[in-house]
Structures are given as C-alpha cells and as structure tokens.
Amino acid sequence: MKVQRLLFALLTAAAFGWCLSGGSGESGRAVSAAAQIAESTQTKYVALTFDDGPRADTTSRLLDGLKARGANATFFLVGRQIGANRDLVRRMVADGNQVGNHTWDHVKLQGASSSVVKQEIGRTDAELRQVLGDGEYWVRPPYGLLNDGQRALFSVPLVHWSVDPEDWKLRNADRDVAAVLRKVKPGSIILMHDSVPASVDAALRIVDTLEAKGYEFVTVRELLELNGVTPCAGVLYHSADRAEGQTKLTSLSGS
C-alpha cells in the first residue's frame, strides 16, 4: 500500500508538472501574468459551485441574485433536468457563469463500468452541446467519488471542492453561511446546491459578506487560471491551492 501511495504521489506530481509545463507557451505566459496581477492587486478570488440543478424556481432566483451582485459561479447540471430548463441554462452562460456536467441520472460513478461512465457523461455532454453549442463542459462526479483509474476516461478537467457546508443536509441558511465563512480562503472551491431553497439564501448572503471583505466570485476555470494553474483533462481539482490539491489527490488513493 505504501509503495502504491508513493507511486501515485509521484505520478500525481508528474501530472501536475506536465499540466504546469503545458502552460509554458503563449497561454502560459498569459496565465502567469494574470497570476501576478492577481497577487499585486490583492484580489481574493473564490469559486461558488452549485450541483444538482437546474431547478426552475430556485436556480432562477439564484441567477438574479448573482447578477445583481456582479458575481459568477459554476453550475454542474444533472442531464435529465436540462430539457425542461433550456432557457435557464442559456442564461447561466449569458450571465458569465460556467456550466458543467454532473451525469445524466446523478449516478455514483465510482465502481461503475466504463460504459456506464461514458454513457452518463456523454449523454449530458451531448445535451449541453445542443443547448449551448460546442464547448468544454467540465465534470463533477456525483458525491465527488471516482476510482483513480476512471480519471483516464475523461477528456475534460474534473472538479471537487475544498469547502463543503453540507447544505443539502442542513437546509438552514444561517448554518450554511457560518460553515462556509469558517473555512473559506482565497482559492477555495465552495460546494452548494441550487436545488435547495435555503442554499440560495445562504449563497447570496455569502457573496454579500465576502465581497465586502474584498473577495471576487469567479468561475472554477477562471479561479484556476488566475492562480496560474493550467486545467488538465482527467485531473481532479479541489481548489486553486496547488499544494492542497496535490495533498488531497494523494490522500484519495486507495479510498
């Protein structure tokens, strides 16, 4: 087990190294310039992410609130819910948000066969392309769970989180807000659910509180790039903090 962990740590470091060295060209210079600007202006970037939508009433209220506050977020959508909410999904992108894939049926991918993984991801990806056009639709696996070997099945970056208020369980805005404010820091990826009414209230309060402290809410793609991280296919990102991301990736091995 120890040898496996060491090997995995080395492979992970190599993967990160490759991803980072992939940024040595034009885009890499742009990214590192962006990172320098971020540092020099002391802006604290953070990413709010919402799973399990879209849901007509709660998601539209959230989009209204985010827009009013000049905040952007990332939405990982359940494929079978897209068809009835196409205008809402188009609005997410029109407002500057990032849209991603949370499988078709919200199935646990960990332990599933390759064909199930490909079908669950592929069907939602096709639906997103039909509604939004061609693009790169990043994936958040339901429950955040995948086998290490399954990552090779993905042609896009994978997104985990570093702050989880367990909003789906508490369904209490006060507790959600407190839980997020306790753990959040620049570079955090916050997990919430736009399908839960209390979570929408909490998310908007979190935006108000953190914006007043100098935070800016950006998409996950922007968060990584502003911190000099070049997103790579099949790599699971927990936050924009490279050390934290690597540690957590390693700790996932054997789980």
Q: Rule CB under 5 A: which residues touch Ni ion?
A: 51-52, 142
The nearer residue to Ni ion, 100 or 142, going by C-beta atoms, is: 142
Clarify whether 193 is annotated catalytic.
yes
Shortest distance in whole angstroms from residue 86 CB to Ni ion: 20
The nearer residue to Ni ion, 19 or 47, going by C-beta atoms, is: 47
Per DSSP, the residues of 12-60 read: HHHHHHHHHHTTSSHHHHHHHHHHHHHHHHT-EEEEEEEEEE--HHHHH
The nearer residue to Ni ion, 12 or 81, going by C-beta atoms, is: 81
The nearer residue to Ni ion, 38 or 236, going by C-beta atoms, is: 236
Of 102, 160, 193, 238, the active-site residue reads 193
Residue 74 in tokens: 């990332």
Helix (H), strand (E) at residue 62:
helix 56-68
> CA neighbours within 13 Å on the CB side: how many for 196?
21
Quickly count: other Cβ atoms within 10 Å of residue 87's Cβ: 12
Closest CA to 188 of 214, 157, 223: 223
> Which residue in the shown chain puts its C-beta closest to Ni ion?
51
Whether residue 59 contacts residue 53, with contact meaning beta carbons closer than 8 Å, is answered with yes
Q: Enumerate the active-site residues.
A: 51, 193
